[in-house]
Structure 1
Amino acid sequence: MGVGGCLVVPWRCLVVLCLRLVFLVPAGVPVRSGDATFPKAMDNVTVRQGESATLRCSVDNRVTRVAWLNRSSILYAGNDKWCLDPRVVLLSNTKTEYSIQIQDVDVYDEGPYTCSVQTDNHPKTSRVHLIVQAVGFVSEDEYLEITGITREQSGEYECSASNDVAAPVVRRVKVTVNYPPYISDAKSTGVPVGQKGILQCEASAVPAAEFQWYKDDKRLVEGQKGVKVESKAFFSRLTFFNVSEQDYGNYTCVASNKLGNTNVSIILYEISEPTSSTLFQEETTTALTPWKGPGAVHDGNNGTSRRAGCIGLLPLLLLHLLLKF
């Protein structure tokens, strides 16, 4: 406990009572206006936590009794120490000054201290307030309230506490916002028969989502012949190594966590694989179409253009013959 929690042994209780009656210093009694200038206490004392605080009270030869009190507890009465706290020591008790020192000050020592004197048969008091600066101390009343928080507000927040005593103290707090899954990307895919096909489903969620795949009402599991299910933290992939006619259709991706679930339908559909004749037709059309893009040069000679087209067509004809045989 602090300086204010001084212990008084039972046999002294009567003496304490008498002393209080002599000094008439109930807690909180200020100096009355019109009183003499004594005792004259110093202004408020400000020290850092861990330092020593000196409390001084100016007196004169009219003073017959002196005491220092903290709230309602007596620290010193004259030269006699009434507080068991070893940090409290008497510095001076002369005809001009009565002072004490509190060593290794802590935050619970902060508060009012009273210098009480008896002079001309009239008790007088004067107060000094001890202020303790606690470096790095952050009030528990300081907080940040986020109403209706969204997942976009998750992340790291920084709190800084500072005063004119030392450098700011910075603390960081990571805020995690839990929310149910939502699927951000899922596209239907066209694949020719016999080729490799992939359906992918991406979902964001905290905690991370678990994925399940269904075709109609049947769940697809890892190890099923010809199909591989691969799930990571934010996506799941369904791979067909050799697509057959039976693989085409509607698939459902389900993403879920403890807060909820969502799903999306993805279609694996059939497309025709390009043949050699289709390729030849497309390339022929491309070769015979004059280029009219930027940088094209036309000299008005149609015969020249046709000869250039025939020259470009020759390799394609050779390729077509080779493919036939």
Structure 2
Amino acid sequence: MGLGGRLVLPWRCLVALSLRLLFLVPAGVPVRSGDATFPKAMDNVTVRQGESATLRCSVDNRVTRVAWLNRSSILYAGNDKWCLDPRVVLLSNTKTQYSIQIQDVDVYDEGPYTCSVQTDNHPKTSRVHLIVQAVGFVSEDEYLEITGITREQSGEYECTASNDVAAPVIRRVKVTVNYPPYISDAKSTGVPVGQKGILQCEASAVPAAEFQWYKDDKRLVQGQKGVKVESKAFFSRLTFFNVSEQDYGNYTCVASNKLGNTNVSIILYEISEPTSSTLFQEETTTALTPWKGPGAVHDGNNGTSRRDGCIWLLPLLLLHLLLKF
């Protein structure tokens, strides 16, 4: 909390918040100035499960900043990757095209994606919908054949037989699809010294996954002093009750079942507890400090400040508020 009780948000948080609010703007909202059809994204993209999907957005030399978003997160901002998914890669960021590729697509990748640009001091967006085609069903009278079954096709199936003599007869069959684990969520966490810290990873698997935690090459076990390992069917949590300097570092979560295993690296890093003086100092020096590092949207101009890197997103907040009334 800064002077006068004002809350000071880190600029990177403001960028993430602004881009996510941008994603909430409905498709078809007119742009009040400039070319209403710019930027132009490609039409709906349809690919088969397991193939690669390319999402393209046409731009020109008026564009100063660009970003791709999915339902709830930023995938790429300029040349900087914001998501942890290794399947998402940047294909091109030129004066005419900004495109990304999602490799080995699955049905959970299906949905809307947004291309956002800053041009002529006006942020604009366009959407493309990714459609993922799963394997089909083959039904021949008394049996149903599912070729190349996937985990999304597990569940209860119903068969109905009827004629003109009696009421229909209904039978239900439950299909369980076994598959190796895949980690759906894992985030690095910053914690001050002496505070409680939690690292968590979530994984989907049938049979249910078993979890293991490692720091460097050393496995962490339940009962270790100051650390609690808690694992359920679909997630595992590593809790530090009193974080020390020795606790900071890289941790690996491993999820496995009889069909395979997967792992992800998560970092527990140190942050300082904010004070009134440090917040005031950060506020007064923001305009003098270039914004560098992961997550920055680069436009090729040296010396661009954090405030300049964020200001193009601020009108989106106002637009979002206006659309709610």
TM-score by length of structure 1 reads: 0.44
The alpha-carbon deviation at position 266 of structure 1 amounts to 0.5
Give the whole-Å Cα distance in 1 for the aligned partners of 2:306 and 2:142.
Answer: 84
The alpha-carbon deviation at position 276 of structure 1 amounts to 3.5
Give the whole-Å Cα distance in 2 for the aligned partners of 1:300 and 1:69.
Answer: 21
Deviations 1:72-94 (CA, angstroms, capped at 9, x unpaired): 99999999999999999999999
Deviating more after overlay: 202-211 vs 115-124? 115-124
The alpha-carbon deviation at position 307 of structure 1 amounts to 27
Deviating more after overlay: 178-187 vs 271-280? 271-280
| Structure-2 change in CA distance of 1:176 and 1:189 (3 Å) | same
Q: Confirm or deny: 8 A CA contact 1:136 1:168 kept in the other structure.
A: no
Q: Confirm or deny: 8 A CA contact 2:122 2:312 kept in the other structure.
A: no
Deviating more after overlay: 110-119 vs 171-180? 110-119
| Matching residue of 2:14 | 14
Q: Confirm or deny: 8 A CA contact 1:7 1:83 kept in the other structure.
A: no
| Structure-2 change in CA distance of 1:14 and 1:196 (3 Å) | closer
| Structure-2 change in CA distance of 1:212 and 1:147 (3 Å) | same
The alpha-carbon deviation at position 245 of structure 1 amounts to 0.5
Deviating more after overlay: 228-237 vs 90-99? 90-99
Deviating more after overlay: 126-135 vs 222-231? 126-135
| Structure-2 change in CA distance of 1:32 and 1:168 (3 Å) | farther
| Structure-2 change in CA distance of 1:163 and 1:199 (3 Å) | same
| Matching residue of 2:81 | 81
| Structure-2 change in CA distance of 1:53 and 1:245 (3 Å) | closer
Q: Confirm or deny: 8 A CA contact 1:110 1:130 kept in the other structure.
A: yes
Give the whole-Å Cα distance in 2 for the aligned partners of 1:210 and 1:81.
Answer: 30
Deviating more after overlay: 64-73 vs 153-162? 64-73
| Structure-2 change in CA distance of 1:215 and 1:197 (3 Å) | same
Give the whole-Å Cα distance in 1 for the aligned partners of 2:308 and 2:78.
Answer: 122
Q: Confirm or deny: 8 A CA contact 2:289 2:305 kept in the other structure.
A: no
Q: Confirm or deny: 8 A CA contact 2:110 2:130 kept in the other structure.
A: yes
- For the residue of structure 2 that corresponds to 1:145, the secondary structure is strand
5+ residue gaps, structure 2, are none
The alpha-carbon deviation at position 278 of structure 1 amounts to 2.0
Give the whole-Å Cα distance in 2 for the aligned partners of 1:210 and 1:41.
Answer: 42
Q: Confirm or deny: 8 A CA contact 1:48 1:134 kept in the other structure.
A: yes
Give the whole-Å Cα distance in 2 for the aligned partners of 1:181 and 1:57.
Answer: 34
| Structure-2 change in CA distance of 1:37 and 1:250 (3 Å) | closer
Give the whole-Å Cα distance in 1 for the aligned partners of 2:294 and 2:285.
Answer: 20
Give the whole-Å Cα distance in 2 for the aligned partners of 1:250 and 1:170.
Answer: 54
- For the residue of structure 1 that corresponds to 2:146, the secondary structure is coil
Q: Confirm or deny: 8 A CA contact 2:80 2:296 kept in the other structure.
A: no
| Structure-2 change in CA distance of 1:48 and 1:279 (3 Å) | closer
| Structure-2 change in CA distance of 1:166 and 1:101 (3 Å) | farther
Give the whole-Å Cα distance in 1 for the aligned partners of 2:283 and 2:9.
Answer: 111
RMSD over aligned CA atoms reads 41.1
| Matching residue of 2:69 | 69
| Structure-2 change in CA distance of 1:107 and 1:162 (3 Å) | farther
TM-score by length of structure 2 reads: 0.44
The alpha-carbon deviation at position 271 of structure 1 amounts to 1.1
Q: Which has the higher contact order (CA 8 A, sep 6+)?
A: 2
Deviating more after overlay: 283-292 vs 246-255? 283-292
5+ residue gaps, structure 1, are none
| Matching residue of 1:38 | 38
Q: Confirm or deny: 8 A CA contact 2:185 2:201 kept in the other structure.
A: yes
Alignment length, in residue pairs? 325
Deviations 1:32-91 (CA, angstroms, capped at 9, x unpaired): 999999999999999999999999999999999999999999999999999999999999
Give the whole-Å Cα distance in 1 for the aligned partners of 2:32 and 2:319.
Answer: 118
Q: Confirm or deny: 8 A CA contact 1:276 1:323 kept in the other structure.
A: no
| Structure-2 change in CA distance of 1:5 and 1:228 (3 Å) | closer
Give the whole-Å Cα distance in 2 for the aligned partners of 1:51 and 1:96.
Answer: 25
- Calculate percent identity across the aligned residue pairs: 96
| Matching residue of 2:217 | 217
Correspondences of 1:1-325 after superposition (within 5 Å) = 142-279=142-279
Give the whole-Å Cα distance in 2 for the aligned partners of 1:289 and 1:207.
Answer: 51
| Structure-2 change in CA distance of 1:41 and 1:275 (3 Å) | closer
Q: Confirm or deny: 8 A CA contact 2:92 2:100 kept in the other structure.
A: yes
